[in-house]
Amino acid sequence: MLKDKNSRKTFFKSFFITLILVFITVGGGLWWLRRQVTIPDIPVYSELPFFNPNHVAEDAPHNETAFDVADPHEDDALIQPPFNFDEDGWERKPYFRTLLIFGYDDGLNTDTIMVAAFDVQNREAYIVSIPRDTQIDVSRNIRRINSAYSVGMRFGDGHSDGVDQLKRELQTIIGFRPDYYVSIEEDAFVRIIDAVGGVNIHVPFHMIYDDPTQNLHINLPAGLQRLDGERALHFVRFRLGNAPGTGITDFRRMEHQQQLIQAMMTELLTPRVIPQIPELIRAYRDHVNTDMDMFDILFFAEQFLLGDIVLHTYNYPTTSVRTTRWYEIPNGEEALELINRTINPFTRDLTMANLQLSDG
């Protein structure tokens, strides 16, 4: 288990777009927005730096990544996704954009990763959660996707190279690089939920867990209840229970994260949130990082403000395998079917030739 403050970073806030839409209704209104803001441009896939250290210390704890690399650039070319879609002439779907959303802990592991897609023309939005233990075809000893950001950040030039590394490694399992990204720091989660007065969540069973070493005490009774920020954090953190048989899988925890996202979106679209706009703005300013400019954000905010976008949530399909450590191995054909049905930004289907999956 991660320390309490670290775990806050691991739960990203994909609902940040919904948060921004509340801001812009006060600062000019939907009428001005719809006249001035257009769909964001599609970024050009440049040749991104790709850092693939050859060795990660075998005794590194699960929530930390320790590197022992003589030349961190030795294996830079080891993973080169097989297609550059800009060069190969793949046509994009009109009014369809993709977004990487992630949170990271103090050890720089991205234990929560989602790929979102917005189909503006058909008024659909999709979120596919990527298991943190998904195995990637890399040579480093710890081959999980949640190490990608750390690798790029530590051996590149900080945050931007960490994001690029994560995008490149994601491309090997989803077939494309997301257009934009959003990363969320720890305090926004609790601050936003407290600002809107809590969220309504159905807790499926009595969640009890105590870890005095982390000052972590979870006690959430079963049933529908209104959770404040700290207790909502406990809901999405819960994995192991004190009583036998009360633990859950990472997949169930991802479903809880998705459940909370939808609850937050509901709260952020109600008029009672308006008095809390200053605090919401501060939380966004202080704890959200993105490569979208303000007009890009306003476009997506306007789309959600219309209130007719249907959100669908999914988990990336994998098979659990334990060798020297625990991994989730991508189920290639099943993953392709999901990707093509939901987040694929191209007018033709991706195939296995567009993926570079680990063989175990």
Q: What is the pLDDT of residues 297-329, one digit of tens each?
A: 878 877 776 667 888 999 999 998 877 778 899
Q: Kindly report, residue by residue over 102-116, the tens digit of the pLDDT.
A: 876 655 668 789 999
pLDDT at 126 over 90: yes
Half-sphere exposure of 23 (CA within 13 A, CB side): 20
What CA–CA distance (Å, rounded) separates 152 from 290? 17
Instruction: Specify which residues 315 forms β-bridges with.
Output: 129
In a domain, 67, yes or no: no
SS (H, E, C) 153-177: HHHCCCHHHHHHHHHHHHHHHHCCC
The pLDDT confidence band at residue 248, using thresholds 50, 70 and 90, is: confident
Q: What is the mean pLDDT of the chain?
A: 76
In a domain, 133, yes or no: yes
In a domain, 335, yes or no: yes
Amino acid at 135: Q
What CA–CA distance (Å, rounded) separates 337 from 215? 43
Number of compact structural domains in the chain: 1
pLDDT at 347: 93
In a domain, 44, yes or no: no
As given in the structure block, the two tokens for residue 79 are 């993973």
Q: Kindly report, residue by residue over 6-27, the tens digit of the pLDDT.
A: 444 444 444 454 445 554 444 4
In a domain, 15, yes or no: yes
Give the residue numbers spanning the domain of 108. Answer: 4-39+93-190+275-347
* 144 contacts 124 by C-beta, under 8 angstroms: no
- Note the helical H segments in 185-331: 187-195, 229-237, 250-268, 277-287, 294-305
Q: Kindly report, residue by residue over 194-204, the tens digit of the pLDDT.
A: 988 999 999 99
pLDDT at 145: 92
In a domain, 70, yes or no: no
- pTM over the 0.85 mark: no
What CA–CA distance (Å, rounded) separates 27 from 304? 16
Percent of residues, the chain, with pLDDT higher than 90: 27
pLDDT at 89: 66
Q: Give the E-state strand segments of 81-175 in sequence order.
A: 96-103, 112-119, 124-130
Round to the nearest angstrom and report the end-to-end CA distance of the chain.
26
Q: What is the CATH number of the domain that holds 33?
A: 3.30.420.590
> CA nearest 93: which of 35, 42, 46, 129?
42
In a domain, 341, yes or no: yes
What CA–CA distance (Å, rounded) separates 265 from 199? 10
Phi, psi dihedral angles at 89 (to 5 degrees): 75, 30
In a domain, 98, yes or no: yes
Half-sphere exposure of 314 (CA within 13 A, CB side): 20
What CA–CA distance (Å, rounded) separates 53 from 71? 7
What CA–CA distance (Å, rounded) separates 264 from 247? 25
